[in-house]
Chains A and B, each alone.
Chain A
């Protein structure tokens, strides 16, 4: 099976521009997570979805960030407008959410975002 797929792998943009990060979870997984990794704050959860529904978005830093999951095989994380402090590696992870099932989150390769 293919793992979690993220695109782009690298994104360089200028302050004020809109940025869209994309994620395709592992087929059959019904929970999806967006994490951000920075030197200052480490790995932190931004938002997660169960069955395409956002469950906990308390980690989303501010209104400039939004996430959607229009179907079971695709999610986006959008930053508008972007700021230099948004520079980080953004990870998507997925999990099959069943009782007694595999509770492990499997991570994508990440998107390194640089905002100039």
Chain B
């Protein structure tokens, strides 16, 4: 079974600075998807960024980018120019590429709580 590990329960960053959240995963599959979701105090799960394992290029969405290291099974999230609205729990998630039975589920890490210091 796949597992996702987020080793940083809490992180803080000064407003306008850059912060990197770590995520590692364990899988025997060669193709899969990885996601970062954000959960602000409203509890809504919001997609931040996604990455297909077969793509070598790291995904980027405005101030958010990932460092995907397939061999190391590492998928870190970098937030540049941090803003107060970035304060939230951030979850890393894995999903199998294969759409066979039982492979649709997202496996989540335990989350990292990000605090932005004004």
Contacts and interface: CB of A to CB of B under 8 A. Distances in A.
Interface of A: 31, 33, 35, 42-45, 48, 50, 55-56, 58-59, 89, 91, 93, 95, 97, 103-110, 112
8 contacts: A31-B104, A33-B104, A45-B106, A55-B101, A95-B104, A105-B106, A106-B47, A110-B45
Contact of B105 (A42, A45, A91): A45
B56 interface: no
A51 B44 CA distance: 25
Main secondary structure of the interface of A (DSSP, over half): strand
A105 B101 CA distance: 17
B101 A56 contact: yes
A107 B33 CA distance: 17
A46 to B, nearest CB: 10
Given A42-B110, A43-B91, A103-B33, A55 B104 contact: yes
A43 B108 contact: yes
A104 B106 CA distance: 10
A16 B44 CA distance: 28
B47 A104 contact: yes
A45 to B, nearest CB: 4
A56 B105 contact: yes
Contacts of B85: none
Nearest to A45: B105
A109 B99 contact: no
Interface in B47-105: 47, 50, 91, 95, 99, 101-102, 104-105
A106 B104 CA distance: 13
Given A104-B50, A107-B44, A42 B108 contact: yes
A52 to B, nearest CB: 15
Contacts of B42: 109
Given A105-B106, A109-B43, A112-B43, 16 more contacts: A33-B104, A33-B105, A42-B109, A42-B110, A42-B111, A44-B108, A55-B101, A55-B104, A56-B105, A59-B105, A97-B104, A103-B33, A103-B95, A106-B47, A107-B44, A108-B44
